[in-house]
Structure 1
Amino acid sequence: MHIIVVGCGRTGSLLARALAERGHQVVVIDPNPDQFIRLGPNFRGRTITGVGFDRDVLLRAGIDHAQGVAAVTSDEMANLLVAFIARQHFKVPNVVARLFEPERAALYQAIGVSIVTAAEWRAHRLEQLLCQPALNVMDTLGNGEVTIVEIRVPPAWAGRPFAFLFIPEKVIPTVLIRRGVARIPAPDVALEAGDIIRISIATDALEELRAQILQAGGIECAS
């Protein structure tokens, strides 16, 4: 995957190194070239000195063929601009942004951007959102027998009823999030591509669900 990381602070540099180590093509953008020292001498990606929401800078970084963009600067408005440009102008499928003010969450989600809050500023969480956007594990219950996941509805499932995911004793869809608004829908509500569904699932059924999502057009990270 070709992934652009905007911001080379602690979180951005950790994320960029982790992605590069997995074999992805990584480009890091930061206005301060001194920040690139955080990447270490063995970093195999590219670096570009510039402002992350500058269209020319993004084009130099290859945004026109990027599969993922992470906006992780310390400036939330800059992150929002980067996310908006990536999603709305260049149609990048997987965009993650660092969020400081929770009340702005709906604004990000309305344009199809995954968010990471202050409590989740871990490179691992960002990598998970970038590389496994179709299915994200949120929690496990009991001794791990049940897993709570969020899935992003793939294009092939658009128009199908919310309840089609229900499998007795295996899969129970509970919440639908559409354009940042969460609700418990009627079983016959039609799904839209990009909807997020929170599901309780028997852990031993996880891989089957993941395979179904990928078969339907969901995207998963691959080295």
Structure 2
Amino acid sequence: MKIIIIGCGKVGSALAEELTMENHEVAIVDISAQKLQEVGEDLDALQIQGNGSSINVLMDAGAAMADLVIAVTGSDELNLLCCLVAKNLGKCHTVARVRNPIYNKEINLMKESLGISMIINPEMATAAEIARLLRFPSAIKIDPFAKGKVELLKFRLKPEFRLDGKSIVEINMKGKHNILVAGVERGEQVFIPNGDFVLQNGDLVSLLASPKNASAFFKSIGLKTNQVRNCMIVGGGTIAIFLARMLLEMKMRVVIIEQSKERCELLADLLPDATVVNGDGTSKNLLFEENLENAEAFVALTNMDEENILLGMFAERMSQAKVVTKVNRVAFDDITDELELGSLIHPKYITTDRILQYTRATQNSIGSNVETLYHILDSKAEALEFVIRENSSVVGVELKDLRLKNNLLVGCINRGGKVLIPRGDDCLMVGDTVVVVTSQKCLRDIEDILEK
């Protein structure tokens, strides 16, 4: 595909890296020559300096023949304008990042009237991810598939679970749980395991299951499965507003601590059912005054990664709360992953995954779409959901007879709303949605699971 990326920030550069690795023809547009130079040294991509809403600049980038234009500059209005101009220059799909909550209720109207294929709000997507975690606090990360009927849940193996030294086959035979262990992270190593794989305490385990079956499994090993009843949020930015609204709808009690008095007044107007506290969220005294010890959830959402990391570590040590820590910069993620920070949330990854998911879905070739895509296992693997729309060489063949690629697992099948954890004698059928976990990159169609 010919793809133009307008905006060379964190998300734009991450997208350019992923899409060039997938052998797309990529052009990057940014007004800053320095940003282009920083991101372009290691990428096989055309670099165009200029304003992405300019007809001449877009023509130089190849907009007339482009398949997809992605606008992720720092300005919502510029992103919308870039997509509008690009749409009029050719027949491309367009994706715009739009952050301002003012536009939130108008997204569908904007898509229709401006002809924009996809609009993503990173703050709302991040808030939705955090809210999902607070519904199921034992999981470190939850990725939904099949419209929520299937979930990929990550948790850390602890001695009290009594699973150390047990193979995956033993666990399944003993509990008869309808789950699938899809991935294991052990230090720097990442595994997509078979039935003989032996778990160890400290492993980060990712399992696929329906919410009901996951809940039954977690209960059997002694993990809490009920959603939290109250939440303390430090930082009153846009993510906090979206998150608080979601939590209040879930009947949770919400306390937001924000340092700016002016911002507190706005929060109080927008969120009348939440408790808004004007103060320094990094003050130990204030956190204890607001009953940190009894908080069931603690979310660090300030604008500074360093503050969020310290707050997450402090909350982990001083409370039994489910801790969620937002980190924007990912250059040191190998270090932050080792710290006790609860669930780490990277807005950049969330936004990038959603856009890559859309990109893959636009290029289906044999009748199966990539409906959902997540980077998992420390971004060393992907979990993809395919919808099988037409007959192909994988349909009607028992899984044990398919020549699947190495390090690839057919994780689950959603057939007419019924979730199946597949065995060797199961077949894929037209109409199924199928979750595949793999360290192989660039899968675009269900037939890509086969060894050529």
TM bucket by the smaller chain? 0.5 to 0.7
Per-residue CA deviation, residues 56-81 of structure 1 (Å, 9 max, x unaligned), is 11111111111111000010011001
SS at 1:52's partner residue?
A: coil
Q: 2:117 aligns with which of 81, 105, 113?
A: 113
> What amino acid is aligned across from residue 95 of structure 2 in structure 1?
V
SS for the counterpart of 1:39 is helix
3-state SS, counterpart of residue 18 of structure 1: helix
Q: Identify the match of residue 353 of structure 2 among 124, 129, 139.
A: 124
Identity of matched residues, %: 25
- Whether the 8 Å CA contact 2:415–2:432 is kept in 1: the answer is no
Deviation of the 1:118 alpha carbon: 1.7
Aligned to 1:96: 95
1:173-208 alpha-carbon deviations (Å, 9 max, x no partner): xxxxxxxxxxxxxxxxxxxxxxxxxxx675779884
Judged with a 3 Å threshold, the aligned counterparts in structure 2 of structure 1 residues 206 and 114 are, in CA distance, closer, same or farther, namely farther
Contact preservation (8 Å) 1:80, 1:97: yes
Partners of 1:210 and 1:95 in 2: CA distance: 28
8 Å contact from structure 1 (residues 96, 130) kept in 2: no
The alpha-carbon deviation at position 99 of structure 1 amounts to 1.3
TM-score (norm 2): 0.32
| CA distance in structure 2 between the partners assigned to 1:9 and 1:26 by the alignment | 16
The structural deviation recorded for 1:137 is 2.6
Q: Is the 8 A contact 2:29 2:51 kept in 1?
A: yes
- What residue in structure 2 maps to residue 13 of structure 1? 13
Checking the alignment, whether the CA contact within 8 Å between 1:27 and 1:48 is kept in structure 2 is yes
Residues 27 and 46 in structure 1, CA contact (< 8 A), matched pair in contact too: yes
Structure 2 Cα separation of the partners of residues 138 and 21 of structure 1:
16
Between 1 and 2, higher relative CO (CA 8 Å, sep ≥ 6) is seen in 1
Task: Spell out the pairing of 1:30-41 with structure 2 (5 A cutoff).
Answer: 30-41=30-41
Residue segments in structure 1 that go unaligned for 5+ positions in a row: 140-148, 152-168, 172-199, 212-219
Specify the alignment match of 2:371 in structure 1: 136
- For the residue of structure 2 that corresponds to 1:42, the secondary structure is coil
How do residues 38-77 of structure 1 correspond to structure 2 at under 5 angstroms?
Answer: 38-77=38-77
Report the TM-score when normalising by structure 1.
0.61
Q: Residues 150-161 of structure 1 correspond to what in structure 2 (within 5 A)?
A: none
The letter of the residue matching 1:126 is I
Alpha carbons 1:12, 1:72 under 8 Å: kept: yes
Change (3 A) 1:170 1:65: same
Equivalent residue pairs, number:
161
The CA deviation string for residues 134-182 of structure 1, in whole angstroms up to 9 with x for no partner, is: 552389xxxxxxxxx899xxxxxxxxxxxxxxxxx934xxxxxxxxxxx
1:2 aligned partner: 2
- Is the 2:83–2:95 contact (alpha carbons within 8 Å) kept by the matching residues of 1? yes
Change (3 A) 1:17 1:210: farther
Do the aligned partners of 1:5 and 1:71 also contact (CA within 8 Å) in 2? Answer: yes
Secondary structure of the corresponding residue to residue 91 of structure 1: coil
| AA of the residue aligned to 1:59 | M
Partner Cα separation in structure 2 for residue 206 and residue 114 of structure 1: 30
Q: Secondary structure at the match of 1:128?
A: helix
Unaligned 5+ segments in structure 2 are 126-347, 363-368, 375-384, 388-413, 434-442, 446-452
Cα distance, 1:38 vs. partner? Answer: 3.7
Distance 1:113 1:127 in 2: 13
* Runs of 4+ with >3 A deviation: 200-211
* SS class of match (1:4): strand
Which residue identity does 2:62 align to in structure 1? G
Could you tell me how far apart the structure 1 residues matched to 2:418 and 2:75 are?
Answer: 37
CA 1:19–1:115 in structure 2 vs 1: closer, same or farther (change >3 Å)? same
**Post-superposition CA distance 1:86-143 (Å, at most 9, x none):** 2244221x2111011323312432124201112345222211112214552389xxxx
Gap change, CA 1:209 and 1:42, over 3 Å in 2: farther
Distance in 1 (CA, whole Å) between partners of 2:418 and 2:67 is: 28
How far, CA to CA, are the matches of 1:15 and 1:25 in structure 2?
12
Distance between the aligned counterparts of 1:89 and 1:9, measured in 2? 25
Aligned in 2, Cα 1:118/1:86: closer, same or farther, shift over 3 Å?
same
Is the Cα contact below 8 Å between 1:10 and 1:38 reproduced in 2?
no
Amino acid at match of 2:354: R
